């Protein structure tokens, strides 16, 4: 039915419905466009398509567990991805697999010429490996974003604002052994010896920073080279660990080598168990043989609980009786000796008393007669004179004659003391 055949009311309702359907379709298209744009924005942000990326490369022994697109880790964070993996040419004998990867902004700022390395480590037990870069510890940044300029020393002295100009190379002396100036040294602090040691200076202007890399560090030349799209990425040395499958294979080889020793050990254990069994049987027989001795020892220890049991065991009845008789005899002898000692002590006491009385009487006599001592002394002198006269009488002289003996020889005089020099001359 044609639209003209409809009534005005139906045409009005139909036009309203068409406008409503058109608005719904427009809203759906807007939501779809917004969702798609958000998805694209989120994907771009997640993958960092519009972020500045710095390229690096390394070499590995094998590509096991690695593939293009795998994330590159730094301190546990995904900071880039692997972009290229190719085997080296057949004539290259030092390296096997070329691995190139990108690091997103701002994480490439953690990679410096010293301390930064590419580590290929195991990720799981299924052979998966990941590429991880380490934070730098010194040296120079691998990439710079300041424009480079090569000038002569005379021109360098005339540059305006020398504090913003930094040295983009290392300057060595003529012998190549002494470093005169390090890279990134301000031009104002550059020593005169460094200016005189080179014909041209490579400088970078820190007052102007670019969004793309302008220079890459050249380890061999010790300077920053201009960075272009055709410039080869910076090389990071690799620390590679073997895959889990290779480790398991080595472990199985070690187990196979150790199996003969394990079998020998089991044989030794079987022999030890057999010896232990025979030893236990021998111990059982020994225990049966020692059972009577143990019974006697038990009975003996039971008797030790009685009073005087140990004495009766050590001293038999006859020895005990003899010991008692001996002790009784000894007691009687000791009693008699004690009685005799007592009588002797009493007699000695009486003798001492008599001696005391005698000396007391003598003392009384001496005190009563004061001339007795002089008389005794005179008597002794006269007796000595009498004996000396008898010695000189011709009849009794031979009785008091003393025997003559050889006189001792006179002492020999000591030799004179001489010096060691005089003794040698003699």
This prediction has a pTM of: 0.52
The pLDDT value given to residue 260:
78
Q: pLDDT class for 249, splitting at 50, 70, 90?
A: confident
Comparing 144-158, 275-289, 296-310, 336-350, the range with the smallest average pLDDT is 296-310
Pairing type for strands 53-60 and 234-235 reads parallel
- Return the higher-pLDDT residue of 359 and 112: 112
> How much is the average pLDDT of 369-389?
76
Most confident of 120-134, 233-247, 292-306: 120-134
Predicted confidence band at 67 (pLDDT cuts at 50, 70, 90)?
very high
Residue range 171-189: mean pLDDT, rounded: 87
What does the DSSP 8-state code read for residue 186? B
**Coil, strand or helix: which one is 199?**
coil
State the residue for tokens 């010429």: 113
For residues 344 and 208, give the distance between their C-alpha atoms in angstroms, rounded to a whole number: 135
Residues 159, 151 contacting (CB under 8 angstroms): yes
What is the CB neighbour count within 10 angstroms for residue 149? 15
Q: Which phi and psi (to 5°) does residue 161 adopt? A: 50, 65
pLDDT digit string, tens, across residues 190-247? 888 888 888 888 999 998 889 899 999 999 999 999 998 889 999 999 988 766 566 6
pLDDT score, position 303:
63
Query: Residue 306: its pLDDT value, please?
Result: 58
pLDDT at 341 over 90: no
For 352-386, give one letter per residue: b (16+ CB within 10 A) or e.
eeeeeeeeeeeeeeeeeeeeeeeeeeeeeeeeeee
CA distance 366 to 375: 12
């Amino acid at each position: 039915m044609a639209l003209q055949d409809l009534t005005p009311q139906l045409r009005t309702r139909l036009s309203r419905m068409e406008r409503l359907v058109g608005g719904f379709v427009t809203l759906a298209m807007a939501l779809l466009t917004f969702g798609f744009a958000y998805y694209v924005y989120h994907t771009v942000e997640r993958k960092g398509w519009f972020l500045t990326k710095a390229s690096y490369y390394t070499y590995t022994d094998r590509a096991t567990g690695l593939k293009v697109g795998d994330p590159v880790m730094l301190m546990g964070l995904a900071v880039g991805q692997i972009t290229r993996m190719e085997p080296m040419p057949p004539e290259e004998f030092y390296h096997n697999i070329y691995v190139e990867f990108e690091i997103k902004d701002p994480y490439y700022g953690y990679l410096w010429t010293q301390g930064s390395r590419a580590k290929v480590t195991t990720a799981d037990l299924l052979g998966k490996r990941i590429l991880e870069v380490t934070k730098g510890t010194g040296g120079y940044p691998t990439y710079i974003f300041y424009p480079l300029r090569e000038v002569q020393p005379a021109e360098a002295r005339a540059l305006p604002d020398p504090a913003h100009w930094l040295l983009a190379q290392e300057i060595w002396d003529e012998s190549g052994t002494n470093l005169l100036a390090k890279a990134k040294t301000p031009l104002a602090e550059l020593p005169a010896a460094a200016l005189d040691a080179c014909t041209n200076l490579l400088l970078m202007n820190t007052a102007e920073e670019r969004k793309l890399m302008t220079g890459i560090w050249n380890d061999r030349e010790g300077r920053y080279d201009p960075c272009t799209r055709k410039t080869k990425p910076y090389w990071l040395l690799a620390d590679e660990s073997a895959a889990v499958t290779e480790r398991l294979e080595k472990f199985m080889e070690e187990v196979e080598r150790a199996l003969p020793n394990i079998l020998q050990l089991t044989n030794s254990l079987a022999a030890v168990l057999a010896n232990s069994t025979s030893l236990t049987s021998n111990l059982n027989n020994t225990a049966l043989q020692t059972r009577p001795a143990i019974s006697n020892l038990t009975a003996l220890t039971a008797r030790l609980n009685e009073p005087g049991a140990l004495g009766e065991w050590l001293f038999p009845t006859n020895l005990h009786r003899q010991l008692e008789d001996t002790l009784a005899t000894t007691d009687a002898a000791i009693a008699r000796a004690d009685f005799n000692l007592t009588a002797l002590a009493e007699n000695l006491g009486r003798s001492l008393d008599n001696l005391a009385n005698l000396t007391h009487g003598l003392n009384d006599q001496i005190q009563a007669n004061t001339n007795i001592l002089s008389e005794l002394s005179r008597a002794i002198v006269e007796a000595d004179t009498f004996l000396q006269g008898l010695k000189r009488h011709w009849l009794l002289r031979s009785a008091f004659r003393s025997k003559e003996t050889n006189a001792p020889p006179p002492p020999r005089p000591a030799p004179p003391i001489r010096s060691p020099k005089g003794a040698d001359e003699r």
